[in-house]
A and B are shown apart, each in its own frame.
Chain A
Amino acid sequence: MQTFDLEENGLRALNEALHAQADDTNQTAWEIVNAKGSHAIAVGLDAPIEVTVKGSTGYYCAGMNKQATVNIHGSAGPGVAENMMSGKVVIEGDASQYAGATGHGGLLVIKGNAASRCGISMKGINIVVHGNIGHMSAFMAQSGNLVVCGDAGDALGDSCYEARLFVRGEVKSLGADCEKKEMRPEHIEILKDLLEQAGSDAKPEEFTRYGSARNLYNFDVDNSGAY
């Protein structure tokens, strides 16, 4: 286990050290102490390492992550795991706005609640939120799965494309061109797998699926009121 004191050694040294880890590194476990809400912790990682941040983080923790597993033992600021490509990010607490924004792959697990715009423009990432999510989540979501074990705020899935949205609780309102969808066996399988990976005991059958009605895919003046 490598322990890195962020307050003492600084952000640049931390990220440089993490970037220096090759695919076959034997320094696979890292613990970051004295994070104190710093921004851009463990960004741009590209090695199969496991990084645990003791405490809460500021903006963009684990941004653009590849391969690595990042555990946040606290809450995460805006844009956690933004544009993640692969790997896994687990937040023990809550996540601020834009969690998992534009993520292309990997798994983001938020054990608390997520604020607004969770999964905005997601492009293949899987996100599992144990609690609730805020308004405008999955806005323009392109692909991937957003699983919400609690409730969703206003305008869920506004202008979304092919992303699958699963909500167990209430949805305050759906956004433009987002509709309730049939839950087929393959969706139950997807949910079962993701819930298991995320450590949730929720039952797939309790969820409702939402997705694009595909009415706004090509511009039509008769739909102009929806924009």
Chain B
Amino acid sequence: MKDIDDNGIPHTTPRQSATFSNDINSDIRRAAATGIYDIRGGGAKRKVPSFDDLLFLGASISRYPLEGYREKCETKVTLGTRFAKNPIELDIPITIAGMSFGALSGPAKEALGRGADAAGTSTTTGDGGMTPEERGHSSKLVYQYLPSRYGMNPDDLRKADAIEVVVGQGAKPGGGGMLLGQKISDRVAEMRNLPKGIDQRSACRHPDWTGPDDLEIKILELREITDWKVPIYVKIAGARPYFDTTLAVKAGADVVVLDGMQGGTAATQDVFIEHVGQPTLSIIRPAVQALQDLGMHREVQLVLSGGIRSGADVAKALALGADAVAIGTAALIALGDNDPKWEGEYNKLGTTTGAYDDWHEGRDPAGITTQDPELMARFDPIEGGRRLRNYLKVMTLEAQTIARACGHNHMHNLEPEDMVALTMEAAAMARVPLAGTEWWPGKPGTGF
């Protein structure tokens, strides 16, 4: 385009609207063409304050570091010490979050079990029940107790090493799920007691209890059924972390799992994922505060999830008071989800590597989030398990590196005082000083 017209008058540079951006306009066109809101998998893609906005200080004259290759930095964590006869002992403070068979293929679930097992940690079932693949390959398996109760049965409940009562999910606090008909194979349909090929809605709240007083009785029932042997987790979304953590503890949880809005889901409305919930960074301190106010910090363990990607994220979560973290999306990427080697096939689906999120459609080129036998055959569960193990090991080494640099011989000795924030928002959310200052917004006694 010429800068001036034929009369010598300069053109105004074409200007895109910040409000009606190309992305937004494409959403509007898609809605107008289909009449259906956009459903997708994954977590929030918008930029939110995150652990990237925090830095560790490392050692100095006042604190001395530990030698990276000689001095021990312990990573073990025990979950469920409050009431359970058999708490779960993990070698690393990184667990695998709940992902369903149905959303994932059987081999993908097997790979998660293999990888977690090799790294000394636990995996978690999801909506749809427990499969022999994941029980067989996971020596520590957490059984999710979900509102839909698809595949729920007492035999599997007793086979579990822990039970996770799912109240909310970071990607969709207050929302249920939807598994579209194309992923409902014979096996998935049978496990869920529903006809093949229909859209399977997962309820947003439990069918037989409402409110914290009922939850307390529900937890009692689960404990009685399992003879008080296994820990009971309560998973909550990052909606009202202070009050929900308080109520979960009051209801008798052994462990609180707290999930921020970057946490993934198999499928829900895009508008839900991007506009409901809070960032992971913002929810941990209120939850820890609730535990401290109850005198239950470390007594009831806190597992944080939602966009955890690296050992740095692990270290930051633990420094802010978590006992462990859980990963979902990152584990899928380690298995091979969104791998550039499938770029040509992503292009055929109208997307590109890194952006593929239509997991609910069952056409995953990587063969992980599908029930299509041909696509599933692309995925090798043994190789996938090896990759996940490697990734978990690297994350652990990274987190240990940071902890040692801060002078700690156990990951749980990391503390907020080891960090500063790069932005005002992160400082306020994490309640650590803005870099170069001794202050954060809301700091007691500062009058601001």
Contacts and interface: CB of A to CB of B under 8 A. Distances in A.
B214 A59 contact: yes
Interface string B213-238: 01001101100111110000000000
A172 to B, nearest CB: 21
Interface in B195-218: 195, 197-199, 201, 203, 207-209, 214, 217-218
Contacts of B201: 140, 159
A8 B180 CA distance: 52
Given A15-B224, A161-B195, A44 B217 contact: no
Contacts of A43: 221, 224-225
A10 to B, nearest CB: 11
Secondary structure type dominating chain A contacts:
loop
B227 A19 contact: yes
A39 B221 CA distance: 8
Contacts of A169: none
B209 A79 contact: yes
Interface residues of A, number: 43
Interface in A177-220: 217-219
Contacts of A39: 217, 220-221
B61 interface: no
B26 interface: no
Nearest to B216: A39
A79 B153 CA distance: 16
Interface stretch (A26-34, A119-127, A145-153): A119-127
B21 interface: no
Interface stretch (A47-55, A97-105, A107-115): A97-105
A83 B193 contact: no
A60 B195 contact: no
B181 interface: yes
Contacts of A60: 208, 217-218, 221
Secondary structure type dominating chain B contacts:
loop
A217 B34 contact: no
A59 B193 contact: no
Interface in A46-68: 46, 58-60, 63-64, 66
Given A143-B193, A161-B194, A218-B199, A117 B225 contact: no
Contacts of A63: 221, 225
Interface in B151-184: 152-154, 157-158, 178, 181
A127 to B, nearest CB: 14
Nearest to A161: B194
A40 B220 contact: yes
A6 B342 CA distance: 62
Q: Which of A120, A121, A143 has the most CB of B within 10 A?
A: A121
A162 interface: yes
A124 B35 CA distance: 35
A64 B157 contact: yes
A120 B206 CA distance: 10
B198 A217 contact: yes
A221 interface: yes
Contacts of B225: 15, 43-44, 63-64
B193 A98 contact: no
A165 to B, nearest CB: 16
Given A102-B208, A121-B203, A219-B36, A162 B154 contact: no
B194 A85 contact: no
B148 interface: yes
A221 B157 CA distance: 38
Contacts of B298: none
A82 interface: yes
B410 interface: no
A85 B158 CA distance: 14
A218 B196 CA distance: 11
A176 B145 CA distance: 27
A78 B195 contact: no
Given A39-B217, A120-B207, A218-B198, A85 B149 contact: no
A55 to B, nearest CB: 18
A221 B195 contact: no
Q: Which of A12, A40, A221 has the most CB of B within 10 A?
A: A40
A91 B156 CA distance: 27
Nearest to A216: B199
Nearest to A78: B208
A133 B404 CA distance: 63
Nearest to B220: A40
A120 B218 CA distance: 16
A171 interface: no
Given A120-B208, A218-B197, 4 more contacts: A12-B224, A44-B157, A59-B209, A78-B208
20 contacts: A15-B227, A39-B221, A40-B217, A40-B224, A43-B221, A66-B154, A78-B209, A82-B207, A98-B208, A98-B209, A120-B208, A121-B149, A139-B207, A140-B203, A142-B193, A217-B181, A217-B199, A218-B197, A219-B36, A224-B35
